[in-house]
Amino acid sequence: MNDLTEKEKIDRRRFLKELGAAGATGLLLASPWLSVFARAGETHRERCRIGVIGTGSRGCFLMGFMARNPKVELAAICDIYQPSIDAALGIAPKARVYKDYRQLLDDRTIDAVVIATPLDRHHRMAVDAFDAGKDVYCEKTLGYTIEECYDIYWHYRNSGRIFFSGQQRLFDPRYIKVMEMIHSGMFGEINAVRTFWYRNNDWRRKVEDPKLERHINWRLYREYSKGLMTELACHQLQVGSWALQEIPDRVMGHGAITHWKDGREVYDNVHCMYVFGNGVKMTFDSVISNKFYGLEEQILGTLGTVEPEKGKYYFEEIPPAPAFLQLVNKWENRLFDAIPFAGTSWAPETANENTGEFILGERPKTDGTSLALEAFAEAVITRRQPERIAEEGYYASALCLLGDQALQEERTVYFPDEFKLDYLNHKSPKQ
Ligand X SMILES: NC(=O)c1ccc[n+]([C@@H]2O[C@H](COP(=O)([O-])OP(=O)(O)OC[C@H]3O[C@@H](n4cnc5c(N)ncnc54)[C@H](O)[C@@H]3O)[C@@H](O)[C@H]2O)c1
Binding stretches for ligand X (CB under 6 A): 53-59, 78-81, 84, 101, 116-119, 121, 139-140, 166, 168, 231
Give the pairing type, strands 112-115 and 357-358.
Answer: unpaired
Q: Positive or negative CA dihedral for 116, 118, 119, 124? A: negative
Furthest CA-CA distance within the chain = 81
Q: Are 153 and 165 in contact (CB under 8 A)?
A: no
Q: Are 192 and 280 in contact (CB under 8 A)?
A: yes
Degrees, nearest 5: CA angle 219-220-223? 80
Cis peptide before 305 (omega within 30 of 0): no
Give the C-alpha separation, 20 to 42, whole Å.
Answer: 20
Query: Shortest CA distance to 16 belongs to which of 3, 27, 5?
Result: 27
Measured from the CB atom, the residue of 72 and 119 that comes closer to ligand X is: 119
Measured from the CB atom, the residue of 102 and 411 that comes closer to ligand X is: 102
Query: Shortest CA distance to 380 belongs to which of 138, 162, 166?
Result: 162
Give the C-alpha separation, 54 to 42, whole Å.
Answer: 32
What's 3's DSSP letter?
Answer: S
10 Å CB burial of residue 389 (0-12, 13-18, 19+) is buried
**What pairs with residue 190 in β-bridges?**
301
Give the C-alpha separation, 385 to 390, whole Å.
Answer: 9
Q: Are 308 and 239 in contact (CB under 8 A)?
A: yes
Compute the least distance from the CB of residue 210 to ligand X, in Å: 16
Measured from the CB atom, the residue of 225 and 298 that comes closer to ligand X is: 225
